[in-house]
Amino acid sequence: MTAEIGHFALILALLVAVVQATVPLIGAHKGRQAWMAVARPAAITQFGLLAVAFGCLMQLYITSDFSVLNVVMNSHTDKPLLYKIAGVWGNHEGSLLLWVLILSLFGSAVAVFGANLPPGLRARALAVQAMIAVGFYLFMLLTSNPFERVFPVPINGRDLNPLLQDPGLAIHPPMLYLGYVGFSMAFSFAIAALIEGRVDAAWARWVRPWTLAAWCFLTGGIALGSWWAYYELGWGGWWFWDPVENASFMPWLAGTALLHSSTVVEKRDTLKGWTILLAIIAFSLSLLGTFLVRSGVLTSVHAFATDPARGVFILGLLIVVIGGSLALFAWRGPALVSTGLFKPVSREGALLFNNLVLATAAAAVLLGTLYPLLLDAIGGGKVSVGPPFFNTVFIPLMIPMIIAMAIGPILSWKRADLMTAVNKLWLALLAALVAMAVVSVLRSEGPLLGIIGIGLAAWLGAGTLIELTGRIRLFRAPLGESLGRLRGMPRAAWGMTLGHLGLAIAIAGMTGAGAWKVESIQSMKPGETVQVAGYDFAFEGVKSSQGPNYSIVEGTFNVTQNGKPVVTLNAEKRVYNVSSRPTTEAGIHTMFTGDLYAVIGDEEDNGGYVTRLYFNPLVVWMWAGVLLMMFAGTLSLTDRRHRVGAPKKHQPSAATAPAGA
Amino acid sequence: MKRKHKRLTFVFIAMLLLGAASALMLSAFEENIVFFYSPTDVKEKKLTDGKRIRLGGLVEEGSVKKSDGAIVMFRITDLTTALAVSYKGILPDLFREGQGVIAEGKLQGGVFKADEVLAKHDETYMPPEIAEALKKSGQWKGKEK
């Protein structure tokens, strides 16, 4: 019964979405208030119906109802409750249900909080939102119904892929989807604005918080996935330029660009067409990511058993959405007139430069990700494009952007003097040079790129702090006044400062972990010791034990440095009972300077074990930096101006300098 | 500065960036693309040593031998031709005899020295490259698409 209620709710949601996609749009065109007013209750109803459908599927998982195919394929009675719940979205059908649930959540949020939106814009944006929903409901109901029954009813389920039975990965998909789908808001508003032919500061002020929220979630989702790969796959790496990683990274790059360009629209009333285009691109890349991950055209952990019909459907959806929106942009885009003029050297110019680099980087990642598909399609052979390609293209593109990131916030709007700005940054240049000198002495054997990376991190970090001291007039005004300015700083400005600082810290971490990783692979017998980066790993032996639905072989390493004990690492190998599939749980000890990381492999004939031992420098900096970036985004989201609604004609006063991105 | 000039400046910067990116990409494509081969392809095309490739197929039953120093020897087969592979390190969790595998590395004196071994993440899933290699050698037993 529960399954039928869920299925029925999904069908009802489709019908409501069809109404929401058409009636308000016609109403907005003809100026009929009553027709436009349909959008709000419809959006809220959709969310209610989706919540029922999702609740039903969750109930089926929790009670292990094996008359439902989806539950059989992905669950088991012995599975811990957390993973029964996570199993709901740990598969193709369920994750799509989560996708549309989040879509309807955002839609109803506009309906509830959008009281001060112009009615036409609101009606049109909600209609566009419903069009996307219709596409996905049809996809689910026609090709991927999560509520399909199975007969005869099996006694037990096939369990969830053990790799996915992990707390980090349990919340990774919801976070990622909140990000992906969050960009649908910017997209819907962009399409609505194109239909209306008007983009103004109020529009940007409405789109910005949604984009910011989506960006925070996407950042978190990507970081969680990366963290999971780091401790679960046991390769000591955290980013592999795998197609599915790229699938989430491309919308992130476009979304970051959108975040910055929407500031320009809001403050300076220019770059409108570009911002609309970015909103379209960010969501298109999110859809493309869904396509790449869900259709199984790429080899990856996310490629569930595949069905060509699904791939064709998503491809069709992709063509309609991207092609349609770009065509609309080509038709209506020229009508968007920007009033704010500016010189190339200005805050706007710097933000545009950042946008161009981010867009180029996203294009490069897109090309590298799709190249194997293209080449195969034209019969050019099967290839893989791996990390060396992405590193050679992506990193050089980022270098000028990081340099510009410290300069941009110091430039004034409209027109600025580059030399004045650079003069303010001499301390940052000094900091970068000192950091590079220190690193080249400490790690003389490492790659040149490592030294450059640390220098860039120091430059960006110091540059951001210099901008902050300038903003609060530290050392130039009495200390009390500076502290007052610090307290009075808008939260959006804090968001910029902390976000850029977070990136600086993360760059240091990525550089450290990428450039100076020490790896040692060997066969070890109990009692043997191996030295890695000055740490002695003594292998104590293994012991066996039982987890809730798996058995454990646990290897113990006593790590010492110059005879002084550091930590005892436990590296596990788990074998899951139902699928008899093993997973690796690396033993990790996190320190300020780096992670000690141990993985144990199979037993060899002579009683030894294959072990992989790593010293991964500065890894924790990377996670800390990303967390700071998410915090910065959230802080910026709580800024007063996002709650005030439509802007006043003028900024309140010149004392609170205009906030950056 | 007039609007037209402003636009020209940005078009110029954008072209510069795109040009730089294209140049980077072209040179990176030249050096960093790895082609996929089945054991039969390797034999027929008489691949030379030292070229970096991906070798895919099934792990031949009974071929996995572990020796000292964490080195594993096994054979990858497309059920027509088999090729010896040596790999130093921990094999992925889902590496099994008779199952699909992709190894990345170089040919060295008739032995494929792998520095990376990828096994599929899900037992019901066969990487498309391997499925195709098996179809080509006429050994595909799975359902036809």
**For the segment A404-426, what is each residue's pLDDT rounded down to a tens digit?**
999 999 888 888 888 888 888 99
Both tokens assigned to B118: 């990828």
B24 touching A, CB under 8 A?
yes
DSSP single-letter state for residue A91: S
Taking contacts as CB-CB distances below 8 angstroms, the residues of chain A near B32 are 385-386, 388-389, 392
Cβ separation A601–B90 shorter than 8 A? yes
* pLDDT recorded at residue B139: 61
pLDDT beyond 90 at B94 = no
Look at residue A205 and tell me whether its pLDDT is greater than 50.
Answer: yes
CB contact under 8 A, A344 and B6: yes
**CA distance linking residue A372 with residue A377, whole number of Å:** 8
Task: Give chain A's mean pLDDT.
Answer: 87
Share of chain A above pLDDT 90, in %: 50
For the record, the structure tokens of A443 come out as 């790690």
pLDDT, average across residues B124-133: 62
What mean pLDDT do residues A515-540 have? Answer: 91
Determine the average pLDDT of the residues in A434-441: 92
> What confidence category does residue A657 fall into, taking pLDDT thresholds of 50, 70 and 90?
very low
What would the pLDDT profile of A14-27 be if each residue is shown by its tens digit?
999 999 999 999 99
Torsion from C-alpha of A506, A568, B116, B99, nearest 10 degrees: -120
User: What integer pLDDT is reported at residue A630 of this predicted model?
Assistant: 96
Q: Is the peptide bond before A152 cis (omega within 30 degrees of 0)?
A: yes
| Residues contacting residue A312 through CB under 8 Å, at least 6 positions apart | none
Position with higher pLDDT, A646 vs A488: A488
Q: Would you say residue A338 has pLDDT above 90?
A: no
pLDDT confidence band for A242 (50 / 70 / 90): confident
Strand partners, A585: A572
Q: Summarize pLDDT for A68-77 with one digit per residue, the tens.
A: 988 888 888 8
Supply the DSSP string of A470-507, one letter for each residue: HHTTTTTS-HHHHHHHHHH--HHHHHHHHHHHHHHHHH
Q: What is the pLDDT of residue B120?
A: 61
* Residue of B1, B18, B28 with shortest CB distance to A360: B18
**pLDDT class for A565, splitting at 50, 70, 90?**
very high
Is there a contact between A443 and A435 (Cβ–Cβ < 8 Å)? no
**Minimum CA–CA partner of A338 in chain B:** B3
Once rounded to an integer, what is the mean pLDDT over residues A393-405? 92
A-interface mutation test, from B54, B122, B136, most A Cβ less than 10 A away: B122
Give the pLDDT confidence score for residue A221 in this predicted structure: 94
Residues A101 and A50 sit within 8 Å (Cβ to Cβ): yes
CA atoms of A227 and A223, how far apart (whole Å): 6
Whether residue A236 is predicted with pLDDT greater than 90 in this model: the reply is: no
Average the pLDDT over each of A35-44, A154-163, A495-504 and give the range with the smallest value.
A154-163
* pLDDT confidence of residue A162: 79
Q: How far apart are alpha carbons B64 and B95 in whole angstroms?
A: 10
Which residue type, as a one-letter code, is found at position A461? G
Q: For residues A361 and A350, what is the distance between their CA atoms, to the nearest angstrom? A: 16
User: Which chain B residues have a beta carbon less than 8 Å from that of A521?
Assistant: 70, 88-90
The dihedral over CA atoms of B58, B63, B69, B70, expressed in degrees to the nearest 10, equals 40
* Residue A646 in this model has a pLDDT that exceeds 50: no
In this structure, what are the phi and psi dihedrals at residue A34, rounded to the nearest 5 degrees? -60, -40
Which of B1, B89, B124 is nearest residue A521 as measured by Cβ atoms?
A: B89
CATH code for the structural domain at A1-165: 1.20.120
- The reply to whether residue B6 touches residue A579, judged by beta carbons under 8 angstroms, is no
| A505: its two tokens | 């810290």
Give pLDDT tens digits for A267-323: 888 888 889 999 999 999 999 888 777 665 665 444 444 566 777 787 888 899 999
| Structure letter (DSSP) for residue A443 | T
pLDDT at residue A102 is higher than 70 = yes
Contact A535, A566 (CB under 8 A): yes
| Spacing of C-alpha A456 from chain mean position | 23
CA distance A186 to A209: 9
Chain B residues 117-136 within an 8 A CB cutoff of chain A = 118, 120-125, 127-129, 132
> Rounded to whole angstroms, how far apart are CA atoms A200 and A29?
20
Interacting residues of B5 by C-beta distance below 8 A, sequence separation 6+: none
For the cut 80, the answer to whether the pLDDT of residue A655 exceeds it is: no
Asked whether the beta carbons of residue B68 and residue A300 sit closer than 8 angstroms, the reply is no
Amino acid identity, position B71: I
Q: Which of residues 93-112 of B touch A (CB under 8 A)?
A: 93-94, 102, 104
Q: Nearest-CA neighbor of A413 among A505, A347, A501?
A: A347
* A580 C-beta neighbours (distance < 10 Å), count: 11
Which tokens go with A376? 């195969």
Q: What is the DSSP string of A510-577?
A: HHHHHHS-EEEEEEE-TT-EEEETTEEEEEEEEEEEE-SSEEEEEEEEEEEETTEEEEEEEEEEEEET
Q: Which SS3 state, helix, strand or coil, does residue B144 take?
A: coil
Confidence of residue A443 (pLDDT cuts 50, 70, 90): confident
The pLDDT value recorded for residue A590 is 94
Q: Which residue has the higher pLDDT, B68 or A225?
A: A225
Point out the least confidently predicted range of A191-200, A594-603, B119-128: B119-128
pLDDT at A105 over 50: yes
A 370-429 → B contacts, CB under 8 A: 371, 381-386, 388-389, 392-393, 396-397
- Cα nearest neighbour of B104 on chain A: A384
> What would the mean pLDDT of A41-47 be, rounded to a whole number?
96
Count of CB atoms situated within 10 Å of the CB of A320: 12
Band (pLDDT 50/70/90 cuts) for residue B4 is low
Cross-chain residue pair A584–B25, CB shorter than 8 Å: no
| Yes or no, beta carbons of B121 and A342 under 8 Å apart | no
Distances from the Cα of A193 to the Cαs of A270, A332, B14, in angstroms? Answer: 15, 9, 26
Burial A48-81 (b: 16+ CB within 10 A, else e): bbbbbbbebbbebbeebbbebbbbbbbbbebbee
pTM for the model stands at: 0.89
Nearest to B97 by CA among B71, B53, B61, B49: B61
- From the CA of B109, how many Å to the nearest CA of chain A? 23
Strand partners, A587: A598
